Amino acid sequence: MSHKGENVMVSNMKLENMLCMRGGNDQTSYANNSQAQAQHAKSMLHLLKEALERVQLGPPSMPFVVVDLGCSCGSNTIYIVDVIVNHMAKRYESLGYEPPEFSVFFSDLPSNDFNTLFQLLPNYYAYDGQDGGTMEDCLAADKHRSYFAAGVPGTFYRRLFPARSIDVFHSAFSLHWLSQVPESVLDKRSRVYNKGKIFIHGANKGIANAYKKQFQTDLAGFLRARSVELKGGGSMFLVCLGRTSVDPTDQGGAGLLFGTHFQDAWNDLVQEGLITSDKRDNFNIPVYAPSLQDFKEVVEANGSFAINKLEVFRGGSPLVVSHPEDETEIGQAFANSCRSVCGVLVDAHIGNRLSAELFQKAQSRATSHAKELLKQLQFYHIVASLSML
């Protein structure tokens, strides 16, 4: 079901077919604005490796299958996959076995820029262990990859792979993206119509609870699909934006990114007569940063997974700048960060020209509050290590 009106995101199929991080390699692309995600991922490597120690090893004659869900189009996914493959190869070697062949699936929505991703992939190298070196030595020296790679387009809220075919699922910085904006939030007749806002940060609790319900519905679908696809003894390592507050209207770092200067920039467009207030109100960011309890409730209700670890991890700022004293650089980093993750949706909703104007206004506002932003804009993540029961 979709509402009448201009909002391109209300239709589930439209959102599913268009939601993606900004592709290409320009200054507003995700590939060039995901340094913070890289830093946050590296700071969690000890937790990832801890989760990988729980994966049950199959016979070396069988391929070991890894999936990165929500892979996007930058080098971060390739780095993490290398970590996973190298770690699992070492586990086999430590037991006196030659590592199996590794198969890696990079999965994201069909609109993802898979071309840019695949151009970043090194050539395949078949490690056979005959030269006395290790797989890690080979990768470090020759910068080859030691796994077969393929792309799998589709939403991770539904089935993507054959039953009992995957050893490890990894997903980072993706599960906070919803499959749809809750319909009631966009319905003028609803008591939880999110009038005057494009995000739920600072909204009333009814609106926030609508988002929470959508998040938990989506996560339940995600877990149902993975419970069929994961092998017995397999594991998942999941990271998504989270919050420390029990109040769902306080979206933490996500709220400061989408609910402050970016929100004000939309209001500027309305006040200048460039868009109507209805046009603004028909756009909502489909993101929800859950609490630990929000996440835990869904995992326990599913009943297929043991929770090995579930915690809130302080990731740090999403703004990576070379000169922290340069307010202009901070403002640009803020605008580029916003644009790299939601620019495609904004372009579709108001067109490229007004979208460029919007992000310029967001940059100007962020520049005026640069020191405050750099200090206050901190991301927290929910980190979950789950194994099949």
What does each C-alpha distance from 28 to 136, 200, 291, 334 come to in angstroms?
Answer: 33, 24, 30, 11
Instruction: State residue 324 phi and psi, 5-degree precision.
Output: -60, -20
As a whole number of angstroms, the distance between CA 87 and CA 93 comes to 10
pLDDT of 357-377, one tens digit each? 999 999 999 999 998 888 888
> Burial letters for 82-96: b for 16+ Cβ neighbours within 10 Å, e otherwise?
bbbbbbbbbbbeeee
Higher pLDDT, 137 or 256: 256
Higher pLDDT, 100 or 374: 100
Out of 99-108, 114-123, 367-376, the most confident range is 99-108
pLDDT score of 125: 61
pLDDT of 346 higher than 70: yes
Give the pair of three-digit tokens for residue 241: 């934006």
Set out the domains of the chain in order of their start, with CATH numbers: 12-388 (3.40.50.150)
pLDDT of 10 higher than 90: no
pLDDT of 172 higher than 70: yes
Per DSSP, the three-state class of 159 is: coil
pLDDT band with cut points at 50, 70 and 90 for residue 253: confident
pLDDT band with cut points at 50, 70 and 90 for residue 7: very low
Determine the average pLDDT of the residues in 140-157: 82
pLDDT score of 141: 43
Q: What is the 3-state secondary structure (H, E, C) of the chain?
A: CCCCCCCCCCCHHHHHHHCCCCCCCCCCCCCCCCHHHHHHHHHCHHHHHHHHCCCCCCCCCCCEEEEEECCCCCCHHHHHHHHHHHHHHHHHHHCCCCCCCEEEEEEECCCCCHHHHHHHCCCECCCCCCCCCCHHHHHHHHCCECEEEEEEECCCCCCCCCCCCEEEEEEECCCCECCCCCHHHHCCCCCCCCCCCCCCCCCCHHHHHHHHHHHHHHHHHHHHHHHHHEEEEEEEEEEEEECCCCCCCCCHHHHHHHCCHHHHHHHHHHHCCCCCHHHHHCCCCCECCCCHHHHHHHHHHHCCEEEEEEEEEEEECCCCCCCCCCHHHHHHHHHHHHHHHHHHHHHHHHCHHHHHHHHHHHHHHHHHCHHHHHHHCCEEEEEEEEEEC
pLDDT score of 33: 52
pLDDT of 31 higher than 60: no
Give the pair of three-digit tokens for residue 216: 């938990």
Give, as one character, the DSSP assignment of residue 145.
B
As a whole number of angstroms, the distance between CA 328 and CA 330 comes to 5
pLDDT of 301-344, one tens digit each? 999 999 999 999 988 878 878 888 999 999 998 998 888 888 88
When mean pLDDT is compared across 114-118, 138-142, 204-208, 301-305, the lowest value belongs to 138-142
pLDDT of 15 higher than 70: no
Give the pair of three-digit tokens for residue 39: 């830093």
pLDDT of 277-309, one tens digit each? 999 999 999 999 999 999 999 999 999 999 999
> Positive or negative CA dihedral for 344, 346, 352, 357?
negative
pLDDT of 129 higher than 70: no
pTM of this structure: 0.88
pLDDT band with cut points at 50, 70 and 90 for residue 43: confident
pLDDT score of 175: 95
Q: What is the mean pLDDT of the chain?
A: 86
